């Protein structure tokens, strides 16, 4: 009886792994590289392509949106902060310096990359970076 339960458990685990891997297999390589770099050892719970955008949900983690060129459009930590390495790697240098001066590089909860601005959601305020002028503003 115990062997049947063990066999059933192993079978279920293999099916779960297979389902998870199939989502990885569907991801464009640059998106899977992005996730592996900034969310290592994480699985994918959801992936879909719609209207020229790619939507990915990291298991128990962030929701990510990429454009048709596989560039990140938005990342929402869903209650947790974004990886500091993402902040320092993917945000403009002047914005990173601003966050560093505030000692907030590890306190970004969401980031939105719009054509003209990047908007960061912090715990109790937002930071906007204007790409054309490199101006950084903060609003409560």
Band of residue 119 on the pLDDT scale cut at 50, 70, 90: very high
pLDDT level of residue 4 (50, 70, 90 thresholds): low
Highest averaged pLDDT of the listed ranges 3-7, 16-20, 40-44 = 40-44
Domain span including residue 19: 2-139
Number of domains in the chain: 1
Q: Is the pLDDT of residue 22 over 90?
A: no
Residue 47: predicted pLDDT: 93
pTM above 0.95, yes or no: no
pLDDT of residue 16: 47
Alpha carbon 92 to its chain's center = 17
The reported pLDDT for the residue numbered 19 is 46
Q: Please give the share of the chain, as a percent, with pLDDT higher than 90.
A: 76
Is the pLDDT score of 15 beyond 50?
no
Helix (H) or strand (E) holding 92: none
Higher pLDDT, 17 or 36: 36
CATH number, domain containing residue 50: 3.40.1420.30
């Amino acid at each position: 009886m115990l062997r049947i339960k063990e066999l059933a458990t192993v079978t279920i685990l293999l099916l779960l792994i297979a389902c998870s891997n199939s989502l990885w297999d569907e991801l464009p390589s640059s998106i899977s590289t992005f996730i592996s770099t900034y969310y290592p050892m994480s699985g994918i719970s959801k992936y879909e392509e719609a209207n020229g955008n790619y939507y990915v949900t990291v298991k128990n983690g962030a929701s990510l949106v990429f454009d048709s060129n596989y560039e990140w459009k938005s990342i929402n930590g869903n209650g947790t902060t974004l990886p500091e390495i993402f902040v320092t790697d993917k945000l403009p240098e002047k914005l990173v310096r601003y966050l560093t001066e505030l000692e907030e590089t590890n306190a970004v909860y969401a980031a939105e990359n719009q054509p003209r601005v990047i908007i960061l959601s912090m715990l109790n305020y937002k930071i906007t970076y204007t790409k054309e002028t490199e101006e950084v503003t903060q609003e409560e």
